[in-house]
Amino acid sequence: MKIEIAEHAGYCYGVERALKLTRKASDQSPTPIHTLGPIIHNPQVVDSLAADGVTPIADVGEAHSGTVIVRSHGVEPAVIELAKQKGLEVVDATCPFVAAAQQRAADLVREGYRLVIVGEHDHPEVVGILARARGGALVAEKPEDLADLGECKRVGVVVQTTQSIARLQEIVGQLLLISSELKVYNTICDATTNRQKSAKDLARRVDVMLVVGGKNSANTTRLAQICTESNADTHHIETARELVPEWFGNARDVGVTAGASTPDWILDEVVMALTRIGESLG
C-alpha cells in the first residue's frame, strides 16, 4: 500500500507564530498564562500546553493576574482594552493574514461600503472582523444569506481567511447581480489556498484519502469537505487511534493531508500507523 502526503499539509505560519509566542510567554513568565479560547483548534496541542500551565479561558473576566494571549483568530478590540485595564499583560498572536482582513473590513466601512463578510457566523475570526466593522456588516456563509442585505448599491467584501475560493466566488457571483458597485478583497490566506489545492489534487488520484486534524478546526473540516467532493472514500480523523484497518482492504494508494493546526508529530503518527496497517494487509 503506497502512502502519499499532500505537498502542503500541517502547520501554517500563523499557527506556528501563535505557538511560538505562547511557549515564549510560558518560559519567561512565572505568572499565570491564559489563552483566550484554545490557542489553536487542535485538542492534542491544547492539552499539551495545559500540562505546562497554559490555560484556555472563555472570557477575560476569568483572568485575575498574569498574561493573556490573543490566539491566531484575533478578538474584538474591546477585549484587549479590557485585559489591559485589568492590569493583565497582553500578547497578541493574531495571525497577520487575519489582521489584514480586519483592516480591510474597517477600511470598507469607513469608505461607505455595506460590508459582507464571507464566512461562518460564529467563528471567532469572523466575530473579530465583525467588531472591526463596528457591527455594520452582514455575515454570509452561503448565497441565501444575502437575502438579508436588502437594497444596497455599494457593497464591499472580505472573507474569512480559511474559506474556500469556490465559496467566495459563489457569493461574489450573487452580489454582482444585486449591486452596482462591488469591491472585493480576497483575504483567504495563501496557506489555505495551497492546502486546499494540493489536498484536492491528491484526493482525485488515490483510493482512500485521510484528513488529519481537530474536529473543531474550520480549515481542517473544509479540507475534508473538499476531499470528499473528489473522493467519497475520505475520512477525517484527529489521531492515529481512529484509523480503521477495514478502510484500506482494497486500497493501493492512500493520500494523507493535515489541517493548518495539525502538528507534525500527529501527522507522523498517522503515517506510521498506516504503514503498519499496509504491512499487515500484505
| Residue 278 parent element (H or E) | helix 264-281
190-218 as b/e, with b when 16 or more CB fall inside 10 Å? ebbebbbebbbebbeebbbbbbbbbeebb
End-to-end CA distance of the chain: 8
Contacts of 257 (CB under 8 A, 6+ apart): 5, 6, 9, 195, 198, 199, 202, 209, 210, 211, 212, 223, 227
**Residue 50, all three cell numbers:** 495545559
Q: Measured between alpha carbons, how far is 75 from 125 in angstroms, rounded to an integer? A: 7
**Residue 101, all three cell numbers:** 482582513
111 has catalytic annotation: no
Tell me which DSSP letter residue 245 carries.
Answer: G
Amino acid at 69: I
Q: 112 burial class (0-12, 13-18, 19+ CB within 10 angstroms)?
A: exposed
Of residues 7, 81, 125, 141, which has the active-site annotation?
125
Active site residues: 125
